[in-house]
Amino acid sequence: MNIQKLKFSHFRNYDSASFSFEPAMIHVLFGRNAQGKTNILEGIYYLSHLRSFRTLKTGSLIEHDEQAFSIECLVERKTRLEDLRIYVEDHKKRLFRYGSPVPAASSFVGIVNAILFCPDDLNLFSSSPSKRRQFMDMELVKLSRTYTSTLSHYQKLLKDRNAALKAFHPDSLLIETLGVQMAKEARILIEQRASFLSLLEEKANEVLPVFSESAETLQIRYKTSVETDSENLEEALLEAYEKSIKKDKQTKNTSVGIHRDDIEFILNGKLLTQTASQGQKRTVLLALKIGLAKIIEEKSGQYPIMLLDDVFSELDNLRKAALIASLPKNMQVFITTSEELSPALFNRPVKFYTVENAKMKEGIYHVES
C-alpha cells in the first residue's frame, strides 16, 4: 500500500498543499518543531482512522480563521489506485471515494491502512485498560469486517443491558436475554482477540532481537473475564454474568465482560511496567508496530503505510540503523525528525525533505538500492 498523492486544504497550518510520494520508499521529513512535519503524518493517519492521534477536538485540525478542512489522497492498494477525500465542517465528516459519497464510516476506515509510532504511544503500557483495548480493536477493525460488525452489535447490547439495569424495576428476563445475546457476540470477539494477540507476540519476538544484543522474550497475556481455552465460552460468559447480577443491579452497570478486558506485556518473565527501562519500552513498542505490519501483510497481501513520528530520539546510531534494517523493504515509510540523519544509516531507497513554515522541499539525498 502506498500514498502516491496527498492534498490538504485548511488542515492545521497548511492552507493549500499538495504532495507526491514514491512507493516503497522511506520519506524522511526533517525540520524544527511546529513547522508542519507531524501534520503530514497526522493527515495520513486521519485518512486511515477518521480521527487524529493528537487531539479529540476536531476544531484544532482546522486552519486558523477557517470553517472546514479537507484531506485528499490517491492511494495504491494491490496495484489499484483509489481516490479518497474527507471533508470536515461543523464536526461532521463527509467521506468520498472516487468522488461518490461513502455513507458509513466503517466502509471507509482501513482503505488506507496506516500504522503509527509516536512518543505518546509509550503510555500504552501504563495507561488504563481502555487504551489497550482500543489498541486491539483499532487494528482488528481494519483486519476483519466480521470483528467490526460483531463489536458494534455487542456495544449496542451492552448499552441496552446497562439501560435495563438502570430501570426503577429492572426486568430480570430482559437482562438475562440480553446476556445470552452478548455471550454469543463476546465469544467471537474473544476468539479473534486471543488469536490476534498470539500472532502479534510471535511476530514481535521475531523483530525484538534486532534491537538488543541480549536475548529478550516478550509475552502478551490476554486478560478477560473467562478462560479463553474454555470448551464453551458462551456458557462461561453466561455464568460470569449470573454471578455478577446482584452487583450489577446495585451499581446499575455491567461489571464483567469483554468491555473490561486488558492486556499484560511481560518482558523476560517480568511485567514490562515494573522492570523495563524507557529504552526497552521503546524497542518493545517498535517491535509490536513492525510485527503488526507483518500480520497485516499476511492477512491482506500488502504492507500498511508506516508512520514514525520522532522515532529516533533516545536511540543511538546502532539502534537507528537496526530499526531501519527491520523495516520491510517494500513498505512505504514516513519518518519525522528534528535531527540531521546520515544517508549511510539507510539500507534502501530514501528521500529527504525539509519542512519549514508548512512548505516542504525535497533534499539532495536519494540513496539508490
- Give the residue carrying C-alpha cell 452489535: 153
Annotated binding residue at 205?
A: no
43 is known to lie in a ligand binding site: no
Contact between residue 200 and residue 295 where contact means Cβ atoms under 8 Å apart? yes
Which residues neighbour 90 within 8 Å (Cβ) at sequence distance 6 or greater?
67, 68
CA-wise closest residue to 265 among 90, 126, 81, 58: 126
Q: Which of 341, 296, 331, 26 is nearest to 140 (CA)?
A: 296
**Is residue 251 a known part of a binding site?**
no
Q: What radius of gyration do the chain's Cα atoms show?
A: 22
Query: Alpha carbon of 119 to those of 97, 211, 308, 314: distances in Å?
Result: 32, 17, 9, 11
DSSP 63: P
35 annotated ligand binder: yes
**31 annotated to bind ligand:** yes
219 labeled part of a ligand binding site: no
- The secondary structure of residue 258, as a DSSP letter, is G
Set of cell numbers at residue 121: 504511544
List the binding residues for ATP: 31-38
List the binding residues: 31-38
